[in-house]
Amino acid sequence: MTAWTPGALQPRPGAAPRTAMWAAQSRTEMILLLRNGEQVLLSLVLPVGLLVVLSTLDFVEVTRTGVRRVDYFTPGVIALAVMSTAFTGQAIATGFERQYGVLKRLGATPLPRSVLLLAKTSSVLAVELLQLLLIGAVAYALGWQPAGSVLAVLLLVVLGTAAFSGLGLLLGGTLRGLTCLAVANLAWLLLLVLGGIMFGLDKFGAAEPVLRLLPSAALSDGLRSSLVDGHVVLRDVLTLGVWAAASLVAAARAFRWD
Amino acid sequence: MRVPAVALEIALEVDGLVKRYGDRTAVDGISLQARTGTVLALLGPNGAGKTSTIEVCEGFREADGGQVRVLGLPPRAAALRPRVGVMPQTGGTYPGLRAGEVLRLFAAYSRDPLDPGDLLERLGLAGVARTPVRKLSGGQAQRLSLALAVVGRPELLFLDEPTAGLDPQARLATWDLVESLRRDGATVVLTTHLMDEAERLADDVVIVDAGRVVAAGTVTELTRGGATGQLRWRARPGLDLDQLLMALPEDCRAKESPAGQYLVEGTIDPQLLASVTSWCAGHGVLAEDLRLERRTLEDAFLEITGREMRA
């Protein structure tokens, strides 16, 4: 072992520019999301697999006549992808980061919390972009013919991301490790089946008006109206907006860093 | 902001700190100071309140009483974050990232960081740079944690048990890093329950026990502790000790027990040693097995608390 050159360890404190911190942190969050096997399964493999299965096999009935299977299911799968990344993925990652003391230790570095949250959001949006490209390509291959405007779809995806991120951070910021993992996965499954993603809500009879208020239902229903019928349902936009505001405020209040 | 133009003489000031957890008082009025550019060791057994004290200074915990000033600021001031490096006792790194990735990430938070590759090399971690953090051994994780604390070139470092669980070679690398940081002007506050670590590294030592400071001072002050030094040697029996004592300072005592085994007690300094050996030489006596027994921090701790300090 060679000795340290005198002066080599002279203090030169100073924070890096925020943009540089944001870039480094976003890259890290992306690596963490994509390196985690279960996470890739949840956010990429399952949605694409579900899209292929639902579009080609007819064990789930399309409740609207005159709509092709791939056109009917693709919007729901997009909603599922958003939910997997923004809600389940963030909740689990954040819950474990707290358990391992990562967030606490980051609090003692020059990285501001606002930049950390911005980086988490950026990485979620980047992964969602990847998901949309992949799902879009597979859907096209299956003969998908989307209607509607790109702007409307983007608005719904961004609002849905905000709502699910708020819920994910609320869960990850209050529960730890395995508890958080279990709750997040259970919620994912319940919303997948009961939340209007896989099945149309008209199957649930009297429960339908209540289920329609779920963020998953609003997102998949909104995307379906947009991509199948080419019009935006204001109620879905408002529902997602309310969920986003409420969950982000609740997460900001309840979040624990250690 | 570079190193401030007017450097503070005191990098850390803790005054009457109290920290409670429910009914238990973990820190019961601890006061201490770390002088800029020195190493301060908080020494004490497990549960003495060392970590609670340091976690308040790091901004991780809120004090229940007393005052803490870190580089002249409250511990949670945002302006402190680039200036203070923190090595917690456990955890704090992404288990899914590789060792090199974590260090490069932390380096990216600072404007002028140390070279991560060089740091890994020097701490013996170059071979595990591509190993995920969750697969590192305890000692490797410990050294990575130290690297994360220093990579941003802070002016004040809090190291909580930096060498716990390290093998001797890794411990030496850690000591070398701390000594080099001090030489280059950084202030280091560390906790340890290892006496030899405090004796080797620290300018000042604060001994804590049961949430209170039981002794504080430089290592020399704490180990001097009155006339407790001993000088022993072997020679032919029957030396005239009264005559020897006339050549020595007044506070010295001498005895022969058993025959041929001699002991002088007093303030052991170079002058005393020279006096004894020259007296022996003057009387044609060969002093064999001559050895000094100084009080250690361990003796000081035992004497003050009446207990041995255990890991």
User: Which sequence spans correspond to the domains of chain B?
Assistant: 10-83+154-223, 226-294
Position A90 in a domain: yes
| Cβ contact, residue pair B152, A258, below 8 Å | no
> pTM to 2 decimals?
0.82
Considering only the beta carbons, identify the residue of B86, B110, B186 that sits closest to A108.
B86
Chain A residues closer than 8 Å to B150 by CB: 9
Per-residue confidence (pLDDT) for residue B28, from 0 to 100: 95
Among A2, A9, A36, A256, the residue to mutate for chain B (most B Cβ within 10 A): A9
Is B1's pLDDT higher than 50?
no
Interface of B with A in 139-158 (CB under 8 A): 148, 150, 152-155
Distance separating alpha carbons of residues A171 and A185, to the nearest angstrom: 11
Is B94's pLDDT higher than 60?
yes
- Please list, residue by residue across B275-288, b when 16 or more beta carbons sit within 10 angstroms of its beta carbon and e when fewer do: bbeebbeeeebebe
Chain A residues closer than 8 Å to B96 by CB: 32, 35-36
Cα B159–chain centre separation: 10
Dump pLDDT digits (tens) for B136-157: 999 999 999 999 999 999 999 9
Per-residue confidence (pLDDT) for residue B97, from 0 to 100: 94
- DSSP states of A204-241: GGGGHHHHTTSHHHHHHHHHHIIIIIS---HHHHHHHH
- Please list, residue by residue across B94-126, b when 16 or more beta carbons sit within 10 angstroms of its beta carbon and e when fewer do: bbbbbbbbbbbbbbbbbbebbebeebbebbbbe
Question: Average model confidence (pLDDT) for chain A?
Answer: 90
Share of chain B above pLDDT 90, in %: 59
DSSP conformational letter for B133: G
Share of chain A above pLDDT 70, in %: 99
Matching CATH number, B226-294, of 1.10.3470, 2.60.40, 3.30.460, 3.30.70: 3.30.70
Contact B301, B195 (CB under 8 A): yes
| Cβ contact, residue pair A11, B186, below 8 Å | yes
- Confidence class of residue B265 from pLDDT cuts 50, 70 and 90? confident
Distance separating alpha carbons of residues B173 and B133, to the nearest angstrom: 20
CATH number of B10-83+154-223: 3.40.50.300
Per-residue confidence (pLDDT) for residue B6, from 0 to 100: 56
Per-residue confidence (pLDDT) for residue B311, from 0 to 100: 44
Dump pLDDT digits (tens) for A146-182: 988 889 999 999 999 999 999 999 999 999 888 999 9
- Total domain count, chain A: 1
Dump pLDDT digits (tens) for A85-119: 999 999 999 998 999 999 999 999 999 988 998 89
| Cβ contact, residue pair B184, A14, below 8 Å | no
Distance separating alpha carbons of residues B48 and B301, to the nearest angstrom: 13
Contact A142, A209 (CB under 8 A): no
Distance separating alpha carbons of residues B80 and B34, to the nearest angstrom: 16
Of A82-86, A243-247, B12-16, B302-306, the one with minimum mean pLDDT is: B302-306
Is B290's pLDDT higher than 90?
no
Considering only the beta carbons, identify the residue of A4, A7, A14 that sits closest to B112.
A14
Of A144, A198, A170, A175, give the one whose Cα is nearest residue A255: A170
| Cβ contact, residue pair B96, A32, below 8 Å | yes
Dump pLDDT digits (tens) for A11-28: 999 999 999 999 999 999
Beta strand spans in B71-155 (E): 84-87
Is A207's pLDDT higher than 90?
no
Dump pLDDT digits (tens) for B163-211: 988 999 899 999 999 999 999 999 999 999 888 899 899 999 999 999 9
Print the domain residue range for A227: 18-53+66-254
Considering only the beta carbons, identify the residue of A11, A23, A258 that sits closest to B153.
A11
Per-residue confidence (pLDDT) for residue B71, from 0 to 100: 96
Per-residue confidence (pLDDT) for residue B25, from 0 to 100: 95
State the ipTM, two decimals. Answer: 0.85
Averaged pLDDT for residues B50-65? 95
Give the residues across from B86 on adjacent strands.
B158
3-state SS class at B309? coil
Position A206 in a domain: yes
Cα B134–chain centre separation: 29
- DSSP states of A124-165: HHHHHHHHHHHHHHHHHHTT----S-HHHHHHHHHHHHHHHH
Say how many CA atoms lie within 13 Å of B221 toward its Cβ. Answer: 10
Interface of B with A in 166-195 (CB under 8 A): 172-173, 176-177, 180-181, 183-186
Per-residue confidence (pLDDT) for residue B310, from 0 to 100: 55
Is B227's pLDDT higher than 70?
no
Residue with the larger pLDDT of the pair B216 and B221: B216
| Cβ contact, residue pair B81, A31, below 8 Å | no
| Cβ contact, residue pair A20, B108, below 8 Å | yes
Per-residue confidence (pLDDT) for residue B247, from 0 to 100: 87
Give the residues across from B212 on adjacent strands.
B209
Pairing of strands B288-293, B229-234: antiparallel
